[in-house]
Amino acid sequence: MKRVLINDNDLDIKDIDYDVIRVKGLVINSNDELIIVENNNTFQFPGGHIRKDESLEDSLAREINEELGIDVTIDNGPFMMITTYDNNYFNTGSKVCNKIYYYVVKCDIEPDINNLKLDAIEKETDFKILRVKLRDLDAFLNKALDDGRIDANIGREMLLVSSEFNNMFGGIE
């Protein structure tokens, strides 16, 4: 598993107030299309926070069910983890170590918008489910960054994940 540390504020581990652990899935169908969700005015891979006493894999399956309305089984480990030391986590003033584990989820089941279980923030924003061809992902993300349609930090992380996916799995022709 590839590990990346992003520490733009040169924080030390002893500066951290608490840890946040999340999981994200690259949900890919047999047509080499990837699902991206748009919520809270940015694009993201489906996923979210783990719950107490929940495994990473169970958390990702739950999050995919909540955000895409489908049931999946996660039968592989993460291929990448990005750790970010954040000096002001979501403008709370807290110094947080944010760890995100990324998985590949092969799935041909179409999202079921009638079965979504969105959280309060997702319900308040215009939550959307998009499909992007894997070969077009970097161009999609770079355009979203140029247009200001994606949070700059999330966009940078998604591009790192895309690069590692291509390195590990050979990319898409």
pLDDT for res 173: 47
pLDDT for res 16: 97
The fold of 2-131 is Nucleoside Triphosphate Pyrophosphohydrolase (3.90.79)
For residue 71, which of 63, 82, 79, 81 has the smallest C-alpha distance? 63
CA distance 93 to 85: 13
pLDDT for res 172: 55
pLDDT for res 103: 98
pLDDT for res 74: 95
Give 99-148 pLDDT, tens digit per residue.
999 999 999 999 998 888 887 777 777 789 999 999 999 999 999 999 99
CA distance 44 to 48: 10
Kindly report the pTM of this predicted structure.
0.94
pLDDT means per 10 residues in the chain (173 residues)? 96 96 97 93 94 96 96 95 94 96 96 86 83 96 96 95 93 55
Cβ density class 20-53: b for 16+ within 10 Å, e for less: bbbbbbbbbbeeebbbbbbbeebbbbbbbebeee
pLDDT for res 114: 87
